[in-house]
Every structure is written in structure tokens, then in C-alpha cells.
Amino acid sequence: MTELAATGLTLAGRLAGADFRLSPGELVVIVGPNGSGKSSLMRLLAGQGHPDSGSVRLDGNEIARFDPRERARRIAYLPQRAEVAWPIAVADMVALGRFAFGGAEVTRGAGDAGQWLDEVGCAPLARRSTATLSGGELALVALARAFAAETPLLLLDEPTAALDPRRQIDVMTRLLARSRAGQGIAVILHDLNLAAQFADRILWMRDTRIVAESTSDAAAVEANAAAIFEVSVRIESGSDGRVQTLAVQQDRPSRPE
């Protein structure tokens, strides 16, 4: 069982004393205003760069000590911006997710790319050149690449930012299914509606700190959203107590007529 645990992560001006834990089978959502340190946190959790203080431990061992491939076999991390420098085929790009498992796996992965593309609803794109993709399609293909690594843990930085509403829900549904199948997933979102509907836990960040951790039940989401984003939210919850829809409103109740 792979576990990721961070204590007291600090990065000058960007992150202060963040504690974090991710276990298999859970879907953790990180939310917070722009510049609140979400991406910096996730980068450190993925073993990219070194904190000024604090530590990230993967299965009890300092993450910096891991061989890069060894680490990449346990954690897949999807950066915020999907980029591709050459017009390679979509299937080849997805197969690059198998890199940490050796060259033969990458070659095999190009043939198996369909299964991961299917997960993000992009199976028909397999033969296309990545140069012809739209921003949203490229983001989905990059997500398929992270899926292709089939790691116990998955760290995703705003995978839904470029997607239409249907695709956002599809992606979150996939992530939920993957977490129920045993994968531990942490995902940064800006959409409180998605966060509240899918998260097992929500981490709330503000001004470089993790200021709250909550479940996704209506009262907790409402209170934290008001405190952190300075917005008020209106929530409809289902009979099971989970949030069904969440609407964000301006904090001041009345607008000048």
C-alpha cells in the first residue's frame, strides 16, 4: 500500500507549513484562490523541487531519495499546463506515460493507448497528430497519459480547467471510479460545485497555507467557501446528504438597483 505524507512543507513566499496525507482509495480535492499555493504544494508532493523546510515521504522514505523512475512508478503527476513540443501522434503521447516502466512498455503502450483514451472519452483521437488538438482535447490526452502510468497515487493540477461542463463531470466521474478501484487521487479544482459533488475530503488553501480540511457535506462547504473565497454559496443536497448542486453568488447580498 503506497502512502504519501508531507509535514510542514514550506517554500518561501509560496507555501507555509503544509501538512498533507494521501492514501489509496481516496479522492482528495484541493481548492483555494489563485496564488494560494495549490500548485506549489502539488509540485513538492510529486517530488518536483525541494521545499525550504518540511518533508515529503513516500512509503516512509524521503521522496528526494527516490530514483526518478522508481518514484514515477508510484506517483503520476499531471502539471497544470499540457504542452507538446512536436506534432507526435496522440497514441504515442499517451504511451509516454509508461516511460518509468521501461522502453518496451512505451512501445507496447502505443498499441494499448486506446484504453486510456477511452477513459477520457478521446478514443477516436488516437491516430491524430497532437498539433491538431484543441486546448481541451490536449488536456484530456495529457490526463490519459497520467492514467497510462497506472500508479497507485495520482496528483492532478486542474485537469478540468479547459473542459466543457459535460467533460468536467465525465472526468470527475472517472476519477471517482478510479479512486474506488483503489487509486489514491489528489486533484486541484477551481469549481466548488465539482469539488463538493465528488470529493471525499476537501483541503482549503489561502495565502500559502492549508487553512481548513473538511468533508464535502453542505454545511462545511458553505462555511469554508464563505470564509476563503468571500462568496456565498447556495447548496441543494440529496437525500444521501451529498451535495447535488452548488451555486456561487456575490458575497454582498444586494446589488445597487
Partner 1 sequence: MIRVNLLLAALLLLAAMLAAMAGAHGLSLALLTDWLSGRDPAAAIILLDIRLPRILAAAAVGAALGLCGAGLQALTRNPLAEPGILGVSAAATLGATLTLYFGLAAAWSWALPLGAIGGAGLVTTLLASAAVRTRGMATLILIGVGLSSLAGAAMALILNFAPNPFSLSDLVNWTLGSVANRSLADLGLTAPFMAAGAVLLLTQRRSLSLLAIGEEAASAHGLDFRRTQIAVVVGTGLATGASVALAGAVGFVGIVAPHVVRPWVGHDPGRTLVPAALAGATMLIVADMLVRLLPTDTELRLGVVAALAGAPIFLLIALRRGNVRHD
How far apart CA 251 and CA 220 sit, in angstroms, is 17
Applying CB under 8 A, the span of 63-71, 213-221, 227-235, 240-248 interacting with partner 1 comes to 63-71
Checking DSSP bridges between strand 15-22 and strand 4-11, what pairing results, if any? antiparallel
Residue 77 binds partner 1, judged by CB under 8 A: yes
Binds partner 1 by CB under 8 A, chosen from 97, 109, 152, 159: 97
Q: What is the DSSP letter of 108?
A: H
Binds partner 1 by CB under 8 A, chosen from 34, 83, 134, 166: 83
CB 206 within 8 A of CB 233: no
SS3 49: coil
Nearer to partner 1, 15 or 142 (CB): 142
Q: Is the dihedral of CA 133, 190, 81, 79 positive or negative?
A: negative
Nearer to partner 1, 9 or 154 (CB): 154
CB 221 within 8 A of CB 192: yes
Number of amino acids touching partner 1 (CB under 8 A): 33
Nearer to partner 1, 104 or 253 (CB): 104
Binds partner 1 by CB under 8 A, chosen from 6, 28, 84, 126: 84
Residues 10 to 49 in contact with partner 1, rule: CB under 8 A: 46, 48
Applying CB under 8 A, the span of 90-98, 159-167, 173-181, 244-252 interacting with partner 1 comes to 90-98
CB 216 within 8 A of CB 242: yes
Residue 71 binds partner 1, judged by CB under 8 A: yes
How far apart CA 193 and CA 199 sit, in angstroms, is 10
Query: In this structure, which amino acid lies at residue 254?
Result: S
Q: State residue 191 phi and psi, 5-degree precision.
A: -90, 105
Burial class (CB in 10 A: 0-12, 13-18, 19+), 58: buried
Nearer to partner 1, 94 or 225 (CB): 94
Residue 2 binds partner 1, judged by CB under 8 A: no
Sites of contact with partner 1 (CB under 8 A): 46, 48, 68-73, 76-79, 81-89, 92-93, 96-97, 99-100, 103, 106, 129, 142, 145, 149
